[in-house]
Amino acid sequence: MKLYGYFRSSAAFRVRIALNLKGVTVEHAFCHLRRGEQSASDYLKLNPQGLVPTLVLDDGTVLTQSLAIIEWLEETRPEPALLPADPVRRAKVRALAGAIACDTHPLQNLRVLREIRSLGGGEAAQAWARRVNEQGLAACEMLVAAEPGPFCFGERPTMADICLVPQMANARRYGVELAGFPRLLQAEAAAMALPAFADAHPDRQADAE
């Protein structure tokens, strides 16, 4: 299998974590987002959205969208489980993952920030990204505040942690003060103590700058 990604992409970061947790080895291909390589015609044939990650399976099948790829991994390689067995707890894990991957991250991704910069300059984009992260993480803190730790939903990492850790990295990059999110910091620390998370960090990728 081949994974197209970019070291700083939080969506690609999620998939790297999931692959590591599942013990799946892939070939890594790099798509430099800031240079616009995602808009090249050859890449658009793989991923018409011009986004990363893109996972090409051994038979040539192409999967896009990080959560869809993670769900596919969960269904085809069920151990270790990334979703709880209980339906209600599965829904809670998916809700937190969605709060990050669907409602927080997209508002501060590269395409959005470039548009804001074109309208109001770099400071406006930075302030927007910081505010979006603060609001999203505040909601996530409340969602897991009463849940047992050390991870978001108990003693094992789930899809929620896979989404949380990259978003915390984003928040730091945009200057968010994270001390007000103690439960999220606890989950992040537990996750980053695992090689599957630590090895997926942007700084450890071959295309890191």
Domains (ranges, CATH) in the chain?
2-80 (3.40.30.10), 87-196 (1.20.1050.10)
What pLDDT does 75 receive?
A: 98
Question: Under a CB-based contact definition with an 8 Å cutoff, are residues 175 and 130 in contact?
Answer: yes
What would the two tokens of residue 100 be? 């990050």
Give me the tens of pLDDT residue by residue for the chain, a chain 209 residues long: 999 999 999 999 999 999 999 999 999 999 999 999 999 999 999 999 999 999 999 999 999 999 999 999 999 999 999 999 999 999 999 999 999 999 999 999 999 999 999 988 789 999 999 999 999 999 999 999 999 999 999 999 999 999 999 999 999 999 999 999 999 999 999 999 999 999 999 999 999 99
Q: Is the peptide bond before 78 cis (omega within 30 degrees of 0)?
A: no
The residues, ordered by sequence, that sit 6+ positions from 62 with a Cβ below 8 Å of its Cβ are 46, 47, 54, 55, 56
pLDDT at 161: 99
The identity of residue 152, as a single letter, is C
At residue 9, the pLDDT reads: 97
Torsion, Cα of 186, 191, 195, 199 (10° steps): -100
Whether 22 and 194 have beta carbons less than 8 Å apart is answered as: no
Instruction: Give the per-residue pLDDT at 98.
Output: 98
Prediction pTM value: 0.96
Instruction: Please give the Cα distance from 155 to 15 (Å, whole number).
Output: 21
Three-state SS at 147? coil
Tell me, what's the pLDDT at 122? 82
pLDDT at 120: 81
**According to the model, what pLDDT value does residue 88 have?**
98
Tell me the per-residue pLDDT of 142-184, one tens digit each, with 9 for 90 and over.
Answer: 999 999 999 999 999 999 999 999 999 999 999 999 999 999 9
